[in-house]
Structures are given as structure tokens and as C-alpha cells.
């Protein structure tokens, strides 16, 4: 395998590993074999709506299942997926207008109620560009796309210099669209995989948004190794942070990740001793500056659940650079003062 199309196509016969899409305490399983067929159905839907190879699809969907279907469909069809953050404020309209003005041949696909909300708070010029660039199909159409196991899987794998686009947060300036090539992404997959020594026997739980480089990179690493993936919507985590740890224990997940604030939120919730976290072998802390004090508090609170400091690996990266560094898995964290 040499590119993301290869990684996706390799799952075509994998029916014993896949996604568990979690909605609260309920979960729905979809094997990788079924998911790639559903993605091909979504690709057919996109093509019928005049999206062509080389064009960009700005994804404004809310359910992770829909976002992943669109990302997979775009990769398989040489369309550039650009998953974007959801924001219920006028800032989002400014951001989408920036996307329209800076990216050629861009299409928007929305969650239908979210699109209606944006139109309600938009002025006339904002409504105009929304109407001009928004596709007639929505997130709801993507999820309803017919599953046809007889769709031909005769795609020719190829590498691209423009495989995926993500946007920087804009905290230090105007948000920028960052293009990742297959070489960028595949190199990152290989490097991280060797660093954390993952295998098909691992499982991964992700609540991070898929418009974030950490959440998306870990998705592809899990896919690369045909790991089961448990996908929890970020809004459910934010409503009840302890559900993250409860689900890790319930499904005996071995790998997960969170920024600092996620660990901090968990400290505000008690976790029953019945929730055994000893199944974990890797919990990545990234996307924000690492707080060793927070790590010590987290370990102290959840050591009764079988959690240990050696499970944490601290990572650093940027949207512009992907992963830069990751501390050694299973080793104590060293403190260095400069």
C-alpha cells in the first residue's frame, strides 16, 4: 500500500472489523467491507450531482458516520474532502465566505437543519453565497444512500498531491486551508504506527472531531491496521465526559486520545470502580500544551480503575505539519526545563 486509496481498498474484504457508531449507550456496527460499499454509493450520489475529480467538497455534517462516508467517497473518487468545524455563530458565515473566495470549484454539503439555521442568521450577501455553493443533497441524503453490494470495485489506485484539506483553527490569524498529499499522509501513518506499535488486535475509541488532524490521523492509523473503531460524537462527550472512560472500560478499548481539556473535564466526574481501565495501553494527550500537573491529577483519580501513568503518551503537532513528536509508549514521562 502506498496511498489512502490503497488503504481504503484493502478493507473491501474485511468483514470482521469495522466501525461501532455510538449514540449514548446504543451502538451500531458496520464492517469495513460494508462501509466501503456504502461509500461507493455516496460517490455515485456525488457524481450525479456534478462533483468532479479535483474539485473540493467542504463538509458541514454533524454525524461522524456521514462525515466518514463523505471522506471515504471523496478519496475513492479523487475529490478533495475538506471537513470543517461546526459553529453556531456569525463567525461560521465569515469562514465559509473565506472558503468560497480562496478555493476554486468548492461545493458545500450541509446537515439540513444546520444549513437552515445559518440562513436564518445570514445577511443577504451571505445567503447568496450559501445558495450558490450549497449542494441540493444533504447529510440526511448521504446516510440514506442505498447500500448496493454489487457496485463494482474496479477503481484504479493512484497517488495525489491534493488528497485531503483541513483548515487551521485561526487562533493565530486567518484560518488557512492546508492540503495534504498522499505522501504526507502515508508517511505519517507509517511513522506513528511504528512508534506506538499498533496491531489488528488493538481497538480505538475516538470522540475527536474529524476536521481535526489528530482525530483524522488516528482514524486512518486504525484503518491501516484494520482495528475496530468506536466513534463517539464530540457533543455527547461534552455533555457527559465520563462516558469516554466508561465506554473504554465497557468495550475494552486499547487506544484513545484527547486534548488536555478532555482530561480536565473527566476530573469533574466520579467513575465507578467497576469501570476497569487496565485494558488501555495507550492514551494520547495532544492538540494542546501538555500539563504534567493535570496528568498527575488524572492518574491519581483513576488509578483505582487500573489506570497508570505509563499509558499516557504526549504528542505535539500542527495542522500545517501533522504529527511532530510523540513520547515513547510505556515509558515514564521525563520533565525537561529550558
User: How do residues 168-188 score in pLDDT, each as one tens digit?
Assistant: 766 666 778 888 888 888 887
pLDDT at residue number 305: 92
Write down the pLDDT at residue 322: 57
Residue 200 lies in a domain: yes
Q: Are residues 134 and 192 in the same domain?
A: no
Residue 57 lies in a domain: yes
Burial of residue 189 (number of CB atoms within 10 Å: 0-12, 13-18, 19+): buried
Domain boundary among 145, 180, 215: 180
pLDDT of residue 62: 93
Residue 158 and residue 103 in one domain: yes
98 and 125 assigned to the same domain: yes
What does pLDDT average to over the chain? 86
Last residue of a domain, one of 148, 164, 180: 180
The whole-number pLDDT of residue 316 equals 59
| CATH number of the domain that residue 53 is part of | 3.40.50.980
Last residue of a domain, which of 180, 205, 230? 180
> What is the model's pLDDT at position 276?
94
Structure confidence at residue 130 (pLDDT): 83
What domain range includes position 276? 183-326
Query: Looking at the structure, do residues 173 and 46 belong to the same domain, yes or no?
Result: yes
Helix (H) or strand (E) segment spanning residue 56 = strand 56-60
pLDDT at 195: 72
pLDDT of 326? 62
Q: How far is CA 316 from CA 36, 287, 321, 327, in A?
A: 31, 7, 10, 9
Q: Is residue 175 located within the same domain as residue 37?
A: yes
**Same domain? 189 vs 229:** yes
Residue 139 shares a structural domain with residue 211:
no
Written as tens digits, the pLDDT of the chain (338 aa) is 678 888 898 888 888 999 999 987 788 999 999 999 999 999 999 999 999 999 999 999 999 999 999 999 999 999 999 999 899 999 899 889 888 888 888 999 999 999 999 999 988 888 888 888 888 899 999 999 877 666 666 677 778 888 898 887 666 667 788 888 888 888 877 777 777 778 899 999 999 999 888 888 889 989 989 999 999 999 999 999 999 999 999 999 999 999 888 999 999 888 888 899 999 999 988 756 677 888 889 999 999 999 988 888 876 555 555 555 565 665 566 665 55
Q: Is residue 21 part of a domain?
A: no
pLDDT of residue 128: 82
- Does residue 10 sit within a domain? no
Clarify whether residues 174 and 43 are in a common domain: yes
Evaluate whether residue 1 is within a structural domain: no
What pLDDT shows up at residue 236?
Answer: 93
Q: What is the pLDDT of residue 131?
A: 83
Tell me what pLDDT residue 171 has: 61
Count of domains forming the chain: 2
Maximum Cα–Cα distance for the chain, whole Å?
60
- The reply to whether 47 and 133 lie within a common domain is yes
Cα separation, 247 vs 268, in Å, equals 17
User: Is 12 contained in some domain?
Assistant: no
160 contacts 152 by C-beta, under 8 angstroms: no
pLDDT at 248: 96
Q: Are residues 49 and 173 in the same domain?
A: yes
**What is the rounded end-to-end Cα distance, in angstroms, of the chain?**
41
Same domain, 35 and 130: yes
Whether residue 244 lies inside any domain: the answer is: yes
Domain of 188, CATH number, reads 3.40.50.12780
SS3 readout for 156-214: CCCCCCCCEEEECCCCCCCCCEEEECHHHHHHHHHHHHHHHCCCCCCEEEECCCCCCHH
pLDDT of residue 293: 83
Q: Tell me, yes or no, whether 51 and 129 share the same domain.
A: yes
Structure confidence by residue, pLDDT tens digits, 240-251: 999 999 999 999
In a domain, 126, yes or no: yes
Amino acid at each position: 500500500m502506498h496511498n489512502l486509496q490503497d488503504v481504503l481498498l484493502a478493507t473491501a474484504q474485511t468483514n470482521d472489523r469495522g466501525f461501532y457508531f455510538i449514540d449514548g449507550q446504543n451502538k451500531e456496527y458496520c464492517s469495513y467491507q460494508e462501509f466501503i460499499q456504502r461509500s461507493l454509493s455516496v460517490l455515485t450520489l456525488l457524481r450525479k450531482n456534478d462533483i468532479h475529480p479535483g474539485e473540493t467538497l467542504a463538509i458541514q455534517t454533524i454525524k461522524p458516520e456521514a462525515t466518514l462516508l463523505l471522506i471515504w467517497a471523496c478519496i475513492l473518487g479523487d475529490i478533495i474532502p475538506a471537513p470543517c468545524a461546526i459553529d453556531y455563530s456569525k463567525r461560521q458565515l465569515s469562514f465559509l465566505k473565506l472558503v468560497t473566495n480562496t478555493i476554486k470549484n468548492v461545493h458545500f454539503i450541509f446537515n439540513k437543519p444546520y444549513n437552515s439555521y445559518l440562513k436564518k442568521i445570514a445577511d443577504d450577501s451571505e445567503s447568496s453565497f450559501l445558495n450558490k455553493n450549497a449542494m441540493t443533497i444533504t447529510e440526511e441524503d448521504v446516510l440514506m444512500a442505498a447500500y448496493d453490494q454489487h457496485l463494482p470495485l474496479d477503481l484504479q489506485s493512484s497517488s495525489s498531491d491534493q488528497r485531503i484539506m483541513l483548515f487551521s483553527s485561526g487562533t493565530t490569524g486567518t484560518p488557512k486551508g492546508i492540503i495534504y498529499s498522499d505522501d504526507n499522509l502515508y508517511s505519517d501513518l507509517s511513522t506513528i504506527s511504528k512508534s506506538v506499535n499498533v496491531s489488528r488486535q488493538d481497538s480505538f475509541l475516538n470522540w475527536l472531531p474529524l476536521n481535526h488532524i489528530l482525530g483524522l490521523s488516528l482514524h486512518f492509523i486504525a484503518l491501516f491496521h484494520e482495528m475496530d473503531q468506536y466513534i463517539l460524537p464530540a457533543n455527547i462527550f461534552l455533555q457527559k465526559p465520563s462516558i469516554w472512560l466508561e465506554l473504554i472500560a465497557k468495550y475494552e478499548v486499547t487506544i484513545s486520545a484527547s486534548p488536555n481539556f478532555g482530561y480536565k473535564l473527566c476530573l469533574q466526574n466520579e467513575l465507578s470502580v467497576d469501570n476497569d481501565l487496565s485494558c488501555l495501553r495507550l492514551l494520547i494527550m495532544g492538540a494542546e500544551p501538555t500539563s504534567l500537573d493535570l496528568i498527575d491529577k488524572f492518574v491519581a483519580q483513576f488509578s483505582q480503575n487500573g489506570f497508570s501513568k505509563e499509558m499516557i503518551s504526549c504528542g505535539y503537532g500542527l495542522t500545517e505539519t501533522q504529527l511532530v513528536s510523540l513520547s515513547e509508549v510505556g515509558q515514564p514521562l521525563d520533565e525537561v526545563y529550558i
